[in-house]
């Protein structure tokens, strides 16, 4: 019975640890501007797209997809902040180029600027609810400390378990 519990504990512990590490590494690679991945990830920090995309969600954005009217895009605004909003209108500029007027689903007014296609980072693919909060925490000093402490605690408990089972 106790051996079965130990096997289950080890499986769950390592499964969670592997998932956390994989998500952390994957999001770290996707956030690099020179990333070769076909997607990028972002943590949503405002409620401008609620209820479609909620604060704290981990947002996955495809980098190789077309976009147009009603598409949700992630782009750099004129201040170089990363923004995810919906294209509500297209506008032809005097020089003939096409630019987008965007608006957050939860905002009353459209953005006060237009967005050229070259500033678009990608189109909305999907979001994992609240996982962004966890990833931000895991990357913090406290999060890294907790993960290392959990791993050390598992290692120590495994050593104690082995010594107790040898004496029995």
Spell out the alpha helix ranges (H) of 51-130: none
3-state class (DSSP) for residue 133? helix
Residue 13 belongs to what domain range? 1-37+130-168
| Alpha-carbon gap, residue 101 to 114, rounded angstroms | 5
Number of domains into which the chain is organized: 1
Residue 105 maps to a domain: no
Residue 1 maps to a domain: yes
Q: pLDDT digit string (tens) for 24-67?
A: 777 777 777 777 888 998 999 999 999 999 999 999 999 877 88
Work out the mean pLDDT of the chain and round it to a whole number.
87
pLDDT cut 90: percent of the chain above it: 43
- Long-range Cβ contacts of 156-164 (<8 Å, 24+ apart): 158/10, 161/6
Residue 62 maps to a domain: no
150: left (phi > 0), else alpha (psi -120 to 50), else beta?
alpha
Residue 21 maps to a domain: yes
Dihedral angle, C-alpha 26, 35, 82, 142, nearest 10 °? 40
Residue 109 maps to a domain: no
Residue 168 maps to a domain: yes
Q: pLDDT digit string (tens) for 107-135?
A: 999 999 999 999 999 999 999 999 888 87
pTM for the model stands at: 0.74
Residue 59 maps to a domain: no
What's residue 168's pLDDT?
Answer: 58
Residue 25 maps to a domain: yes
Which residue, among 159, 136, 122, has the nearest Cα to 58 in the 3D structure?
136
Number of C-beta neighbours around residue 21 at 10 A = 12
């Amino acid at each position: 019975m106790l051996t079965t519990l130990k096997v289950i504990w080890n499986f769950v512990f390592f499964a969670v640890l592997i998932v956390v590490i994989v998500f952390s590494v994957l999001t770290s690679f996707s956030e690099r501007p020179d990333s070769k991945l076909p997607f990028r990830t972002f943590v949503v920090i405002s409620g401008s797209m609620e209820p479609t995309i909620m604060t704290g969600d981990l947002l996955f954005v495809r980098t190789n997809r077309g976009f147009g009217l009603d598409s949700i895009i992630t782009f750099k605004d004129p201040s170089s902040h990363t923004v995810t909003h919906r294209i509500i209108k297209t506008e032809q500029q005097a020089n003939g180029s096409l630019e987008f007027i965007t608006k957050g689903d939860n905002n009353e007014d459209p953005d006060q600027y237009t967005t050229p296609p070259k500033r678009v980072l990608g189109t909305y693919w999907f979001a994992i609810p609240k996982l962004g909060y966890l990833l931000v925490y895991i990357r913090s000093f406290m999060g890294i400390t907790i993960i290392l402490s959990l791993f050390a605690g598992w290692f120590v408990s495994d050593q104690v378990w082995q010594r107790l089972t040898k004496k029995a």
